[in-house]
Amino acid sequence: MEEAERTQVEEQVALARGVSGEVARAVVGMEEELAHCLMAVAAGGHVLLEGPPGVAKTLLVRSLAAALGGTYGRIQFTPDLMPADVTGTSVFRSGEGSFRFQPGPVFAHVLLCDEINRAPAKTQAALLESMQEGSVTVDGVRHDLPVPHTVFATMNPLEHEGTYPLPEAQLDRFLFKVLVAYPDEVVEARLLETVHDRPSYASPRELGVEAVCDPARVGELRAVVRAVEVREDLPAYVVRLLRATREDPSLLLGASPRAGVMLLAAAKACAVFGGRAFVTPDDIKRVALPALRHRVLLDPAEEIEGGTTDDVLTRILDTQEVPR
């Protein structure tokens, strides 16, 4: 690694540590979940956080947004939410005698879509253009979103009452699906020790979280990630993983070529936060589960037997030959 590359990578590692330290002022534990969120930001992707109510999914995103700086928007998804409530709408100004576009909450550097699977597919689809193209089109007019634009969506497991399944096209827009489980006993005890005397509605700012980043620095981070070297044998390794998901009898739907693009982008971000300007097979394996678990479909027969998507993906990762 050249000296300039080493310096750039070290700066981004320091930035990630600074952001993580700020988030830790408000959030107890969740280090792995936060690491994946930061990788997604660095890779220019979006994150879907799935877990039961009360495990701090929303607080994690709010705290991360506060540490990253820039503008922040939040949408509480409900069954009666309309697409215009997300993207914005044209409002008639009587004084001007014309319509003017009123931007919706999607116009933010960091957007939290809280309980995204409590709104029907029509409203969820309002995010497709913004997540893929960084813009929204209203009344035939394209409006660019702030750069960078990152969506964090939280959702409850589908078996919870009042939830709707996300369309496959919506799921595919997320770089990672991060599973947020109940904390272990030690972390939960530390959580109670830490938060019992906090104000009930304290914001991340009130809990001491400060912005240690800004949109321009996020742009610099993404430029460093894009420049990470990918060994010539690693794309073939990713393709073997993808093809294995398509051929595994436990999966009805395998991973698409876009999944491979996303997986490699995430591995490059993982490499940077590991202090390297080149990707290793271990980087790919570390991000494979969150990058692929929502892009494949488990056979119902396998699910009845107690199998999970992660079990199948882990088996594939363990059996495919790893480049040396």
More confidently predicted of 169 and 172: 172
Q: 4 pLDDT exceeds 80? A: no
Q: What confidence score (pLDDT) does residue 6 get?
A: 84
- Percentage of the chain surpassing pLDDT 90? 73
Which residues lie across from 176 on neighbouring strands? 47
Q: What confidence score (pLDDT) does residue 238 get?
A: 98
Q: 138 pLDDT exceeds 90? A: no
**DSSP at 199:** -
pLDDT band at 216 (very low <50, low <70, confident <90, very high): very high
By the 8 A CB rule, do 148 and 157 touch? no
Q: 218 pLDDT exceeds 90? A: yes
Q: What confidence score (pLDDT) does residue 226 get?
A: 96
Q: 261 pLDDT exceeds 80? A: yes
Spatial distance between the Cα atoms of 31 and 27, rounded to a whole number of angstroms:
9
Give the pLDDT mean for 69-82: 93
Residue in the structure block whose two tokens are 């939040």: 74
Neighbours of 114 (CB within 10 A): 18
- Percentage of the chain surpassing pLDDT 70? 98
Q: Which tokens hold the place of 220?
A: 């610099």
Q: What confidence score (pLDDT) does residue 185 get?
A: 96
| Cis omega (within 30 of 0) for bond into 148 | yes
- Give the range among 2-6, 57-61, 195-199, 223-227 with minimum mean pLDDT: 2-6
Per residue in 17-63, pLDDT (tens digit) is: 999 999 999 999 999 999 999 999 999 999 999 999 899 999 999 99
Q: What confidence score (pLDDT) does residue 199 get?
A: 87
Of 75, 73, 78, 153, the C-alpha closest to 111 is 73
- What domains can be seen in the chain, in order of their start residue? 3-78+110-120+149-227 (3.40.50.300), 228-324 (1.10.8.80)
Per residue in 113-132, pLDDT (tens digit) is: 999 988 887 888 888 889 99
Radius of gyration of the chain (CA): 20
Spatial distance between the Cα atoms of 244 and 54, rounded to a whole number of angstroms:
36
Give the pLDDT mean for 180-208: 92
Average pLDDT value for the chain: 92
Q: What confidence score (pLDDT) does residue 120 get?
A: 81
Q: What is the largest CA-CA distance in the chain?
A: 69
Model confidence, pTM: 0.93
Q: 243 pLDDT exceeds 80? A: yes
Beta strands in 29-109 (DSSP E): 47-50, 72-76, 88-93, 98-103
Give the pLDDT mean for 213-235: 96
Q: 196 pLDDT exceeds 90? A: no
Per residue in 94-112, pLDDT (tens digit) is: 777 777 889 999 999 999 9
